[in-house]
Amino acid sequence: MAGGANPNMIQAAANPYTQASMAQQGALATYANPAARAQQMMNPYQQNVVNKTLRDVGGAAHIGLNTLDAQAQQAGAFGGSRHGVAMAEAAKGYQQQALDAVGALNQQGYNQAMNDAFRSAQGLQSAGQQAFGYGQAVQNQQMQQGAMQQQMMQNLINAGKGQFMGYAQQPQQALAPFISTIHGTPALQGQNQSFQPGLFNYMQVGAHMMG
Interface positions with other proteins (CB under 8 A) = 15, 17-18, 20-21, 135, 138-140, 142-143, 145-147, 149-151, 153-154, 156-157, 160-161, 164-165, 168, 171-172, 174-175, 178-179, 181-182, 185, 187-201
Distance CA 188, CA 179 (A): 17
> 42 CB contacts (<8 Å, ≥6 apart)?
109, 110, 113
Distance CA 130, CA 11 (A): 19
> DSSP 3-state assignment of 11?
coil
> What is the four-CA torsion angle of 80, 83, 89, 95, rounded to 10 degrees?
-110
By C-beta, is 47 or 149 nearer to other proteins? 149
Distance CA 108, CA 122 (A): 21
**Cβ distance 38 to 113 under 8 Å?**
yes
CB 24, min distance to other proteins, A: 8
By C-beta, is 174 or 207 nearer to other proteins? 174
DSSP annotation of 4 = S
By C-beta, is 58 or 160 nearer to other proteins? 160
By C-beta, is 104 or 147 nearer to other proteins? 147
CB 11, min distance to other proteins, A: 18
CB 30, min distance to other proteins, A: 18
By C-beta, is 15 or 47 nearer to other proteins? 15
